[in-house]
Amino acid sequence: MNHRAQLLAGMILLTTTTMDAGLAQAASGPGKAAIASPHRLATDAGLEVLANGGNAFDAAIAVGAALSVIEPSSSGIGGGGFFLLHRARDGKDVFIDARETAPAESRGELWADAEGKIDRDKAMNGPLSAGIPGEPAAFTWMAGHYGKLPLKASLAPAIRLAREGFPVYARFQSSIERRKEVLARWPGATALYLVDGAAPALGTVWKNPDLATTLERIASKGDEGFYEGEFAARMVEAVRAAGGIWKREDLAAYKIREREPISLDYRGWRIVTAPPPSSGGIALGEMFNILSGYDLTRLDRVHTVHLTIEAMRRAYRDRAEYLGDPDFVKMPVAELLSPLYAAGLRASIHPSKATPSDMLPGYMAPKESDHTSHYSIIDADGNMASVTKTVNLTLGSGFVVPGTGFVLNNEMDDFALLPGQANAYGLVGGDANAPKPGHRPLSSMTPSFVIGKERTGVIGTPGGSRIITMVFEGILAFIDGDLPEKVVANPRYHHQYLPDVVSTEPKAFTREEVKALQAMGHIVNDGERTWGLMNMVSWDRTTNTLHAGADPREEMSSGKVQQ
Ligand code: DON
């Protein structure tokens, strides 16, 4: 039964809750739809489009486009992303892969310095670090194939925000401040983001009329307005003049891919999640398969955490070894997801002793960062969208083609640009993830659905290599009964095989728990700092109650239920 039918059938009292410390606001109760996103203006853009007759997919365009205006540090039309969709009408689940692609002239040596090491500046800053963007193609595809409204209607709130402006908020300002030296190198970026060489002042109204015009062009011309013609020529010319390698053919050849999501079973729950070129779904599958062999109800918290860490360690090892772009790289997906394989991994786990990572074969050492956007949507008909999108590092490459209003991504750094040499997250890799023409770089973004007999959740987060473990812990907490408001606020812990360390947010463990884990041989970096920006919505089908949980770690995060 869909929400509307259930709403008519049932009389349920409205409840509204507000998250702690007056930061994020998350309303919950019966309603028509729920959206949680990193900024209240983006959440409102989605609600507006729903109120105008759009569905969750139109709202996914509206929220995404609004974020490209409001949160350029994290994602935008110069970047890419993954859009996991569920269509209630026929139960179809589809994963729209709008990941960037490597330009045809890509070859590892372009990013090498005189000593054959990766030139980190070229890998992270300026147009050589930019892949061909996927986000505009995702918007046009979703409007054409899944939405109810014309693209123009779904882009309207973002165009208005870009033209009329919004007040500069703390994270927006600090991201520009952090990247100001790089932005200052490029006249397009300087004109867009810097005021006398610095970030704009807090609270001042920030407008981006160029981006409004770019979005209008996409709204009226579709893909052609971005990937072809005069606009494409302008981007290519500016990129090449500043040392990049884009060609018009690269842009004209860009296509989103519709992929089958990975579907997992865990204790009677179905988890629908991200396939390659995300590493998330396979890593989640391995971790759930390992845990499902234990009766966790008989274990205390410390032993449960120990087994969870050991599952993380093993999944991240395999991530490094096997994964890449599925259009080009052969991967043993079925084997990695098989219960038999998990049983083998489980057999290598000691019930109360940490396995040192260097006893497992292979090597990898990722680090994290907090710039990527995730939002979650459920509409009145039960359509769902879980979207994680990014320009990679803060403000991507920092390069703006003059007059376009958006930064280009620096997603090329998610490739193993040179074999065995680390990227910004410390990730290394080899041929499976080499920067070959047309390939998509391996990602950790893991937009997911979690579906039980009574409750359904839509979940995801930014956070670089920590995305996968955050989504893992979020799903486990939801299955254990936490509502989205709590799931997103729960303190998190993380292990990624190498470095061989359990990192934790403040208050993730008590002192006694840390001591007990240390006694088992775990190295615990306790309470270093917070990470991630998780936004989750859920639908309890027995009471027809919607919940929206916005991460309280960011004050602009906003989850709302539309009444
Ligand atoms: O696709 C990836 O895995 C990275 N480009 C994601 C970057 C990210 O999450 C940064 N911030 N949180």
pLDDT in 10s for each residue of the chain, 563 residues: 444 444 333 222 222 232 322 223 334 556 789 999 999 999 999 999 999 999 999 999 999 999 999 999 999 999 999 999 999 999 999 999 999 999 999 999 999 999 999 999 999 999 999 999 999 999 999 999 999 999 999 999 999 999 999 999 999 999 999 999 999 999 999 999 999 999 999 999 999 999 999 999 999 999 999 999 999 999 999 999 999 999 999 999 999 999 999 999 999 999 999 999 999 999 999 999 999 999 999 999 999 999 999 999 999 988 878 888 999 999 999 999 999 999 999 999 999 999 998 887 554 444 444 579 999 999 999 999 999 999 999 999 999 999 999 999 999 999 999 988 888 887 777 888 999 999 999 999 999 999 999 999 999 999 998 999 999 999 999 999 999 999 999 999 999 988 899 999 999 999 999 999 999 999 999 887 899 999 999 999 999 999 999 999 999 999 999 98
Residue with tokens 């759009």, as numbered in its chain: 54
> Cα(190) to centroid of ligand 1, in Å?
24
Bond from prior residue into 277 cis (ω within 30 degrees of 0): yes
**Sign of the torsion angle spanned by Cα atoms 88, 158, 166, 529:** positive
| Confidence (pLDDT) at 367 | 40
Contacts by residues 52-56 (CB-CB < 8 Å, ≥ 24 positions apart): 52/149, 52/153, 53/148, 53/149, 54/147, 54/148, 54/149, 54/153, 54/154, 55/146, 55/147, 55/148, 55/379, 55/381, 55/383, 56/85, 56/377, 56/378, 56/379, 56/381, 56/383, 56/384, 56/385
| Confidence (pLDDT) at 8 | 32
Atom of ligand 1 nearest to the CA of 99: 1
Burial class for 184, CB neighbours closer than 10 Å (0-12, 13-18, 19+): middle
What is the DSSP pairing of strand 493-494 with strand 502-504? antiparallel
| Catalytic residue selected from 372, 388, 469, 504 | 372
| Confidence (pLDDT) at 451 | 98
Q: Which amino acid does the sequence have at 547?
A: H
Structure tokens at 14: 């409205």
| Confidence (pLDDT) at 370 | 58
Take atom 8 of ligand 1 and give the residue whose Cα is closest.
464
Q: Is 372 a catalytic residue?
A: yes
| Confidence (pLDDT) at 256 | 98
For residue 181, the number of C-alpha atoms closer than 13 Å in the C-beta half-sphere is 4
Contacts of 520 (CB under 8 A, 6+ apart): 302, 306, 352, 353, 354
Kindly state if the Cβ of 443 falls inside 6 Å of ligand 1.
yes
> Cα(410) to centroid of ligand 1, in Å?
10
Kindly state if the Cβ of 445 falls inside 6 Å of ligand 1.
yes
| Confidence (pLDDT) at 364 | 43
| Confidence (pLDDT) at 22 | 26
Architecture of the domain defined by 1-40+59-100+256-397+419-563: 4-Layer Sandwich (3.60)
